[in-house]
Structure 1
């Protein structure tokens, strides 16, 4: 098979066949630079020289009812994690202002938990208005919202709804037993039906196979999700995955490139676990592997990198921060 031909077809809107996907997965390690170069050109064809920069605030933390094996905020695990109720809208807005000063154009309000009660819904509505007033694009990651809640928040100025599927339907039961995968898929569909910019992706390095990775990408493509966050496991003490080794940089880069082949026109945002997998010495490489966005600043319960260094890396790659 010909790698250039597969890339050209993908750019023309023809997805790789099953045999071509297997070819990409089994590509010899010494051909990784070639794979990354094709993914980078594919990214450039769809996004030009722009890189989307987003940031988040952990607006409500800990004691989550779900038992996701990788998450420090689960009430089922012994991990040490901050615990506090939903922050005031003013404090969330202040965090947004700091993110904007650091270079972010989108700002996500993230809250632990599966379902949203009335008091928190009021708080989210106020927070969305406050973030929008900062001149940022307000996104929200609150768990599962119903259509009425989505409509109310959209009317308040919400632009993006974030709800990760995390992994494939096949692998999900090994990672979470407290809710069904279809609940997450339906939440994504509800966000899309509401006309919101839906951000939904997964976490890699949690014991999934390459088939699981492909299965997730194809589902996201079929759903029509425009933005795909790509997270990499940071093993956290007290969680069931605390002893799992992080992915190598080479495997993580190959995942990013494969996703670009499978999702050529979707925003691929590299988020949690980036410092763990790539460290300070290889942080630039994601920008030439097919990624079109970065999360800057800290993550939920783990530290991120220096936003100034991330923006410097964007410029070193000959790219510019997008004004989303």
Structure 2
């Protein structure tokens, strides 16, 4: 067995066996560059030189009913996040227009909370219509949507439904105890069945093992999600994980490369925690690790980097931002 042989297997469209996956996970640190080259080769074969860009707005913030250990917006912790109800649709559309001016084609409307009530449903519907009218792809991350809500929002112009599974079923109870993992899986499955572009991934560096990471990737593949956001923990004061050290860049790069091997034809988007782990100086390595998408601008409760700088780094890497 060799890494090149495993890479060829992926490029030929053959699924990886358990020994293949174990081989990648157990690669020593001095072979990281070799792994990244193979992952980038797979990414280029599947997506060419394009980098998909998306941006979000924190449209409803704070006092979430769930107790996810990493989240500043949980009402169970002492994290100091902003607290406000769903923003007016006009404000959301204004933020989307700004993103469009920076060349962004997908715009995510993100809201804290588990379920969506009637009042917020009206607001989301209007916001989706306004973002779609700009010629952008409106995405929505509102918690768990019911099939009827998904259908109505799709009719209004919704293109993508985002709902992270966050981690494996095995590790989930150590991260969240206020709802069942099966509820999240059902929400993702409903989005896929509704014919939406489903974005579902996880957050890494919260104490999960490599086995947990593999388990999550294989479930996402089985569910048929098209886009997998990869978030890295940014420890936030007041949350249970405030003292946890962020992932080392080398471990994060290996994780992205592993996901490219396991999910060769799915969009891998690097989202929250990117600056925490990589700063501004190692972005080129990240773009060569198998990822084909970036969230740009600000995150939910954390300031992001410069969109202009991201576009410059994409150009320096010999890649092109996706324009449609």
Range into which the TM-score falls when normalised by the shorter chain: over 0.9
Q: What aligned pairs does 1:258-297 form with structure 2 within 5 A after superposition?
A: 258-297=258-297
After superposition, the C-alpha distances for 1:215-267 in whole angstroms (9 at most, x for unaligned) are: 00000011111100000000000000000000000000000000000000000
Residue 236 of structure 2 is matched in structure 1 by 236
Offset at 1:93? 0.2
In the TM superposition, residue 21 of structure 1 has moved relative to its aligned partner by 0.8
Distance in 2 between residues matched to 1:82 and 1:38, nearest whole Å = 42
Is the contact between residue 103 and residue 323 of structure 2 (CA under 8 Å) also seen in structure 1? no
Correspondence for 1:56: 56
5+ long unaligned stretches in structure 1 = none
Q: Distance in 2 between matches of 1:11 and 1:211?
A: 24
**In the alignment, which residue of structure 2 is the partner of 1:304?**
304
SS in structure 2 at match of 1:254: helix
Offset at residue 286 of structure 1 (A):
1.1
Matched, 1:201 2:201: yes
Partner of 1:230: helix, strand, or coil?
strand
Counterpart for residue 89 of structure 1? 89
Deviates more, 1:93-102 or 1:52-61: 93-102
In structure 2, C-alpha distance between the alignment counterparts of 1:265 and 1:50, rounded to whole Å: 14
Q: Which moved more, 1:198-207 or 1:281-290?
A: 281-290
Q: Is the aligned partner of 1:148 residue 2:141?
A: no
Counterpart CA distance in 2 for 1:283 and 1:303 is: 17
Aligned to 2:4: 4
Tell me the secondary structure at the aligned position of residue 104 of structure 1. coil
- Structure 1 window deviating more from structure 2 (184-193 vs 283-292): it is 283-292
The Cα of 1:134 is off from its aligned counterpart by 1.6
Partner of 2:189: 189
Separation in 1, partners of 2:284, 2:6:
25
C-alpha contact (below 8 Å) 1:103/1:307 kept by paired residues: no
* TM-score for both structures, normalised by structure 1: 0.99
Distance 2:73 2:104 in 1: 25
Q: Which runs of 4+ in 1 moved over 3 A?
A: none
SS in structure 2 at match of 1:97: helix
Structure 1 counterpart of 2:102: 102
C-alpha displacement of 1:185: 0.2
Match of 1:118 in 2: 118
Q: Which residue of 1 aligns with 2:18?
A: 18
Q: Aligned-pair distance for 1:101? A: 1.4
Q: Which residue of 2 aligns with 1:43?
A: 43
| Alignment of 1:175 onto 2:175 | yes
Checking the alignment, whether the CA contact within 8 Å between 1:206 and 1:233 is kept in structure 2 is: yes
Whether contact under 8 Å (1:267, 1:293) holds in the other structure is yes
CA contact (8 A) 2:227 2:266 kept: yes
- Cα separation, 1, equivalents of 2:236 and 2:323: 34
Q: Which ranges in structure 2 are unaligned for 5 or more consecutive residues?
A: none
**2:7 match: secondary structure:** helix
SS state at 1:166 partner: coil
What SS class does the counterpart of residue 46 from structure 1 fall into? helix
Tell me how far 1:103 sits from its aligned partner.
Answer: 2.3
Distance 1:47 1:152 in 2: 31
**Partner residue of 1:162?**
162
Q: Cα RMSD (Å) of the superposition?
A: 0.6
Shift of 1:303: 1.0
User: Would you say how many aligned residue pairs link Structure 1 and Structure 2?
Assistant: 324
1:246 equivalent to 2:246? Answer yes
Aligned to 2:257: 257
